[in-house]
Amino acid sequence: MSNVLHLARPPLSGATSQTSTIFWTDWSSRVVFENKGIDVEITACVDVGRPGNIPDDDLPPALRSMAETDAFSIEIKPTVGDDYPTVLRQMLAGKVRYLFLEDYTGTGATRNQFIDIFAASGRTVVFKEDVDEQYRRLLRAYELDDDLDDFPASFDTDDFDADVDFE
């Protein structure tokens, strides 16, 4: 199962009047669940576009190639205990970079040691409580209560206008 989130931004402002309306930015992401032993894989792409009638030679080098794609995978566990080496081996074998969990219950290593062990292998541990706190901060910033139904599908700020479509 996958969802595609597509965000489009109006043309970027350029340095000259000639370029002020010819560039646009397109964001997209794809989320895939339970694929090849990976709980969640998210692929995100940012692309700065321009009309095809402008040759690369007429653009500064920084504007010639403006597409960037990154993918990251997430292992989800409700709790991890002293079996964390097995979880880490599983993540290394599947090239999973992030562990999302609710609680660490191990006694052989402290919580900070557990996090450091994963970090030493290039893996990031993310606790649900930290995500929840970030979510609450976002809700407060937009003056919403803690109900997901009230969370807007798009945000309008001075710098960013977004239309969100799920395909």
134-166 confidence digits (pLDDT tens): 888 888 887 766 555 555 554 444 333 333 333
Contact, 68 vs 48, CB < 8 A?
A: no
Answer whether residue 22 shows pLDDT above 60: no
Q: What is the pLDDT of residue 24?
A: 60
pLDDT at 141: 81
pTM of the model: 0.61
| DSSP conformation class of 1 | -
What pLDDT, on a 0 to 100 scale, did the predictor assign at position 138? 84
pLDDT tens by residue, 30-66: 899 998 888 999 888 877 666 555 566 666 665 555 6
* pLDDT confidence tier of residue 72, bands split at 50, 70 and 90: confident
For residue 1, the model assigns a pLDDT of 32
Q: How many CB atoms lie within 10 A of CB 18?
A: 10
The rounded mean pLDDT for the chain is: 74
**Confidence (pLDDT) at 166:** 35
The values of phi and psi at residue 21, to 5°, are: -125, 15
Q: Which of 69-83, 100-114, 145-159 has the lowest mean pLDDT?
A: 145-159
**DSSP alpha helix (H) spans, the chain:** 61-64, 84-94, 111-120, 128-141
Burial environment of residue 9 by CB neighbours within 10 A (0 to 12, 13 to 18, 19 or more): middle
Q: What whole-number percentage of the chain has pLDDT above 70?
A: 59
